[in-house]
């Protein structure tokens, strides 16, 4: 009897970390459903939804921190997937793109840190990463947010825009109503 209990404890001690690891992998599988800009625009033309664009670069440490800490948060992922088409947009994207019947290019795609014109247009000519832009259901510019945000900082903003509250009250009124 004692040997059986000992073996059970040892087996559980070995398997428990494996089960936790499998659970974590499952969480990442249900994370934010990131799309390309083109995919989001195509979906938005068929089924309108707010669009959240994460402008990042490969060299940006704060962008990686957002991915690892904020965008991996289950509550952030839940709101994003329900209310937005979420776009990952490399601000140094080399290929031309069409948006609102205009063509945008990266003027020097072979040059390091050359910013794509569409990123500049949507970020209002600022080169700060990470930055985020929210487009409304008609793909019109609605809001820009800059810098690293914790899940606790980002969630109220996602709710404010994703639920359409921004059409009824300003940000100050909304924050006051949430206290």
Rounded Cα–Cα distance for residues 115 and 57 (Å): 9
Check residue 29 and give its pLDDT.
45
Those residues with Cβ within 8 angstroms of residue 171's Cβ, 6 or more apart along the chain or in another chain: 160
Q: Please report the pLDDT score of residue 1 as a whole number.
A: 54
65-70 contact pairs (CB < 8 A, 24+): 65/148, 66/130, 66/148, 66/149, 69/150, 69/151, 70/148, 70/149, 70/150, 70/151, 70/154
The pLDDT confidence band at residue 86, using thresholds 50, 70 and 90, is very high
Question: Are both 134 and 58 inside the same structural domain?
Answer: yes
Instruction: Write out the residue range of the structural domain in which residue 79 sits.
Output: 31-177
Other Cβ atoms closer than 10 A to 89: 24
**Residues 18 and 89 reside in one and the same domain:** no
| Whether residues 22 and 88 fall in one domain | no
* Closest of 32, 140, 123, 152 to residue 81, by C-alpha: 32
Average pLDDT over residues 59-64: 97
Cα 66 from Cα 149, distance rounded (Å) = 7
Q: Do 108 and 44 belong together in one domain? A: yes
pLDDT for residue 89 is more than 50: yes
Asked if 36 and 25 sit in the same domain, the reply is no
24 with 42, same domain? no
Of residues 160 and 16, which shows the higher confidence score?
A: 160
15, 46: one domain = no
CATH code, domain carrying 151: 3.40.30.10
Q: Are residues 16 and 53 in the same domain?
A: no
Number of structural domains found in the chain: 2
**Helix residue ranges per DSSP H, 30-123:** 37-46, 61-65, 74-83, 117-122
Together in a domain, 82 and 126 = yes
Residue 3's pLDDT is: 54
Same domain membership, residue 128 and residue 110: yes
Q: Is the pLDDT of residue 102 over 60?
A: yes
Residues 1 and 85 in one domain: no
Tell whether 118 and 37 lie within a shared domain.
Answer: yes
């Amino acid at each position: 009897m004692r040997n059986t209990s000992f073996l059970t404890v040892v087996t559980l001690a070995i398997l428990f970390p494996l089960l936790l690891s499998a659970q974590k992998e499952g969480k990442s599988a249900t994370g934010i459903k990131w799309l390309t800009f083109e995919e989001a625009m195509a979906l938005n033309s068929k089924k309108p939804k707010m669009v959240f664009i994460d402008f990042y670069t490969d060299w940006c440490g704060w962008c990686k921190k957002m991915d690892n800490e904020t965008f991996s948060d289950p509550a952030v992922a839940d709101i994003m997937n329900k209310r937005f088409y979420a776009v990952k947009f490399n601000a140094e994207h080399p290929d031309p793109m069409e948006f609102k019947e205009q063509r945008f290019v990266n003027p020097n795609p072979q040059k390091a840190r050359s910013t794509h014109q569409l990123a500049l247009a949507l970020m209002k000519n600022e080169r700060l990463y990470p930055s985020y832009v929210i487009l409304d259901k008609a793909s019109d510019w609605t809001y820009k947010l800059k810098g690293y945000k914790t899940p606790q900082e980002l969630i109220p903003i996602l709710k404010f825009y994703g639920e359409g509250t921004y059409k009824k009250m300003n940000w100050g009124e909304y924050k006051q109503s949430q206290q």
